[in-house]
Structures are given as structure tokens and as C-alpha cells.
Amino acid sequence: MDKTGFETQLLHTPFEKEDAYHSLSMPVYNTAAYEFDTAEAMEEAFCGRTTGHAYSRITNPTVQYFEKRIQAVTGALSVTALNSGMAAISNVFFALAKAGTNIVTSAHLFGNTYSFLKSTLGAFGVEVRFCDLTKPAAVREQIDENTCAVFLEIITNPQLEVADLKTLSDIAHRHGVPLIADTTVVPFHVFHASEFGVDIEVISSTKYISGGATSLGGVILDYGKFDWTHSKKLHQLAEQVGMSAFTAKLRKEIHRNLGAYMTPQVAYMQTLGLETMEIRYSRQAVSCNRLAQELQLLPQVESVNYTALETNPFYQISTSQFGSYPGAMLTFDLPSREVCFRFMNQLKLVRRATNLFDNKTLAIHPASTIYGTFTEEQRQRMDISQKTIRLSVGLEDVNDLLEDICESLKSIAPL
Ligand SMILES: *Cc1c(COP(=O)(O)O)cnc(C)c1O
């Protein structure tokens, strides 16, 4: 990221091999398998002694090019692309955790991540310890010699809580534990995870990267800075391969066995998405900031949650980590669940849909949808309020968005 600008470097990342027809775009290699000239070459490739492709569940040139572009702009040691954000998250923990180990995290997690850790991994004897990651003492208390990871989302959704990453990574590293972060809400050209001590970064590329909700995807970035000789599961491997132990475990075992590698068509779409991410984000994040400011002034809105508002409790830490435009998502509270529903039903431009960072602006009532099947007690523990609307801000003219929101509010609660 030092030589040239983010976008320049991204666009001009070379292919691994020159294309036979000098194609400007990476061709989509829709193939399951690859042919070899000799049995010896086949042996070399299958035994991992050469880097050739053998089977597209393991590597594929189109997917590899997508990975390489991300690697070029982030400086990661390795990038692994999977078929969804959840596939990326589950691959990370299958590589790190084993029965008897524990994961220290917050209960403020993306719904499926919470369920994956608690139910799916829980059934394999992995303990999940929920605590308040914004309180260093609480984190210290939970970590012990069986902790395999501290995990967090950099801005939790939909609570929009921000932990101090440098403090957290210091605590984790002092105990020989890696810090794993889901950075989906702020793209890597804005937030440089590694500089804040994040060892493994995981992203749902369905969001900003896909280029407007074109496809599902997820990526895992290993920055190669963690000493895995401290890891309960990877210490033996670390003795052999050093700092790349996580990547070795992931690429040589876990992702092959789980079989959720990104497909070439998706990699093609997401490579195109990457090309416009910086420019899309700059518009979406600026619009989001403006909407947050304006929503605060509306009489029907009880409160607005966006971490770049000076009144926000996380304003300072958010600004120091993510700058003035921390994501294109905000939430706001209306007087009740009924008012939220009536507001949603009046919207004409803003779409009623889940997902984040589509090119279109999306609204959702999280408590009745994403968290609809949770018990009220679970929702309370996760700070999911019936009064909250979540807005993911798209590329529309911000004045049109504001008008739609204002008109919808006026029509349901005339003052
Ligand atoms: C969407 C999302 C995920 C899951 O990603 P999928 O691509 O839908 O599997 C995980 N974490 C966060 C923060 C997300 O927003």
C-alpha cells in the first residue's frame, strides 16, 4: 500500500501467468480439474511441492487472482476466499479451536456467528465465553491457558459498539492468544486491521466487495505476525512452518475438508466489485454520515446510533480507528415496534431487505427478522431493541433518501 494508491495497485495487480490471448480481465476458469503432462508433474502438484492447480475445491486461477489482489493492497501473508462470510468465519475457527479450548468474545455478534460459536462449535466441546470487550478487565478475567482466540466484530451490528483494538490485542498477545476480527463493516482501504494488532481478519465479501450484492463470498486474511508456537492447536505445526502455521492449517487441511472454496464465477464478480469499492464506499459513507446528522433533527426519531456522531459514546475510539466515516450503516430508534413497522411499510425508495452495503439503501427491523427466532431474553442480552431500525446506505442521491425517510415518518406520526 506504500508505493501506489490503493485503487492503482488493485487495478494493476498482474495475473500469475500471462493469458494466452492477453485478456485484460482475468478469464473465468470454469473447470473442476486440471490436466498434467506427466505422472511426475502430477505427483509434485498433489504432494504440494509445486504450486500448480489440481482441483478447484482447493485452488482455482480466477479465485487465486481475486485473493492476490486483496493480498497486494493489504499486505497480508495469505488471503483465502470462501463462498460466504459464514464459510470464512467457520473455516477460521475450525483451524484454531479444538475440544477443551475456549473462545473469548462478545454476545454482540452477527446472528449466525453467535449461533455458529455457541451451537455448532459448542457441540464439539469448544467453550464460548461472552464478555464486554470494551472493558479490558472483563477480557483479562476470561482468558486462560485454554483460550484459543479473542474474537470480535470491529463495529458490532446492530448495537454499533466499538472496542479498543490496540488494548485488546495487547491483552490477547500478552497471553499468547491471537486476535481475530470480523471487519466486514469498514473496508480495508479505510481500516488497516494489522496496524491495530489484528492477527486474522475475516470479511463477508457479500457486502462492500461484491460490488452491489452480486454474490455471496467471504475472505480470510492472515497477516503472518502471530507466533503460533503459543497456540494450543497449532504449536506443533508452528515448530515446522513458523509464522505461516495458521495459513498452512487452513490451506492444507481445513478449507479442503470443509469444501466451501469460492467459485470462479463469484471470484470474477467480486474482482470487479473490488475495482469500484473505494469509490462506492466514499459515496455511501459520506451519505450515511449526512443521514445520521439529519435524522437526529427529526422529532419522531428518539435516537440515532452512528459512531461518528460527536455525542456517540464510541466517538473517540471509533474516529481513531476508522476515521470520520465508520461504515455506511446506522440505526435509529422510533417510539415502538408498531411505529417501526408502520415506518417500514411507508418507505417508497428505501428497500425492505436484509444485507449490508448493497448499492441500494436497505432498511430492516432487526428484532423481528435477523433476531426474530431468538427468545426475548436472548435479544435483551444482545441489546436488540424492538424500537430499532437499521439502515444500510446505498448510492442513491442522499437528498432523495432523506426525503423518503422524512415523508415516511411524517405520514405515520404527524406532529
Ligand atoms: C453479513 C455478515 C456476515 C456473514 O456473511 P455472509 O456472507 O452472509 O455469510 C458476518 N459478519 C458480518 C459482520 C456480516 O455483516
Give the pLDDT confidence score for residue 112 in this predicted structure: 92
Question: Over the range 199-211, which residues count as b (16 or more CB within 10 Å of their CB) and which as e?
Answer: bbbbbbbbbbbbb
Give the pLDDT confidence score for residue 415 in this predicted structure: 53
Give the pLDDT confidence score for residue 414 in this predicted structure: 59
In a domain, 328, yes or no: yes
Together in a domain, 239 and 286: no
**Residue-by-residue pLDDT tens, the chain, 415 positions:** 456 899 999 999 999 999 999 999 999 999 999 999 999 999 998 888 888 899 999 999 999 999 999 999 999 999 999 999 999 999 999 999 999 999 999 999 998 999 999 999 999 999 999 999 999 999 999 999 999 999 999 999 999 999 999 999 999 999 999 999 999 999 999 999 999 999 999 999 999 999 999 999 999 999 999 999 999 899 999 999 999 999 999 999 999 999 999 999 999 999 999 999 999 999 999 999 999 999 999 999 999 999 999 999 999 999 999 999 999 999 999 999 999 999 999 999 999 999 999 999 999 999 999 999 989 998 998 899 999 999 999 999 999 999 999 999 998 865 5
CB distance 242 to 249 below 8 Å? no
| 3-class SS of residue 4 | coil
In a domain, 273, yes or no: no
Which atom of ligand 1 sits closest to the CA of residue 216?
7
Give the pLDDT confidence score for residue 44 in this predicted structure: 92
| 3-class SS of residue 351 | strand
Which atom of ligand 1 sits closest to the CA of residue 206?
7
Together in a domain, 291 and 211: no
Closest C-alpha residue for ligand 1 atom 11: 110
Together in a domain, 182 and 43: yes
In a domain, 262, yes or no: yes
Together in a domain, 16 and 129: yes
Please state, in angstroms and rounded to a whole number, the distance separating the CA atoms of residues 343 and 390.
Answer: 12
Together in a domain, 318 and 255: no
CA angle 175–181–182, rounded 5-degree value: 160
Q: What is the CA radius of gyration of the chain?
A: 22
Closest C-alpha residue for ligand 1 atom 15: 184
Together in a domain, 86 and 225: yes
Ligand 1: centre distance to CA 4 (Å): 30
- Which of 112, 316, 132 lies closest to 150 in space, CA to CA? 132
* Count of domains for the chain: 2
Together in a domain, 65 and 176: yes
Grid coordinates in use for 82?
Answer: 470462501
Closest C-alpha residue for ligand 1 atom 2: 204
The domain that holds 81 is classified in CATH as 3.40.640.10
In a domain, 271, yes or no: no
Closest C-alpha residue for ligand 1 atom 6: 85
Where is the domain boundary, 207, 239, 266? 266
Of 82, 93, 202, 206, the one to substitute when testing ligand 1's pocket (max ligand atoms within 8 A of C-beta) is 206
Give the pLDDT confidence score for residue 413 in this predicted structure: 65
Together in a domain, 284 and 402: yes
Ligand 1: centre distance to CA 87 (Å): 9
Together in a domain, 402 and 365: yes
Give the pLDDT confidence score for residue 51 in this predicted structure: 84
Give the pLDDT confidence score for residue 1 in this predicted structure: 44
Residue 244 neighbours by CB under 8 Å, 6+ apart: 77, 78, 222, 224
Range of the domain at 201: 6-266
Together in a domain, 79 and 172: yes
Ligand 1: centre distance to CA 156 (Å): 11
Give the pLDDT confidence score for residue 50 in this predicted structure: 87
Together in a domain, 254 and 186: yes
Residue type, 208: Y
Measured from CB, residues less than 6 Å from any atom of ligand 1 are: 84-86, 110, 113, 153, 157, 182, 184, 204, 206-207, 216, 218, 356
- Which of 179, 176, 194 lies closest to 79 in space, CA to CA? 194
Please state, in angstroms and rounded to a whole number, the distance separating the CA atoms of residues 412 and 51.
Answer: 61
Helices of type H across 207-263: 235-241, 245-249, 255-258
Question: Over the range 265-301, which residues count as b (16 or more CB within 10 Å of their CB) and which as e?
Answer: ebbbbbbbbbbebbebbebbbebbbebbebbeebebb
Phi, psi (degrees; rounded to nearest 5) at 65? -65, -40
Together in a domain, 77 and 204: yes
Of 207, 270, 390, the one to substitute when testing ligand 1's pocket (max ligand atoms within 8 A of C-beta) is 207
In a domain, 134, yes or no: yes
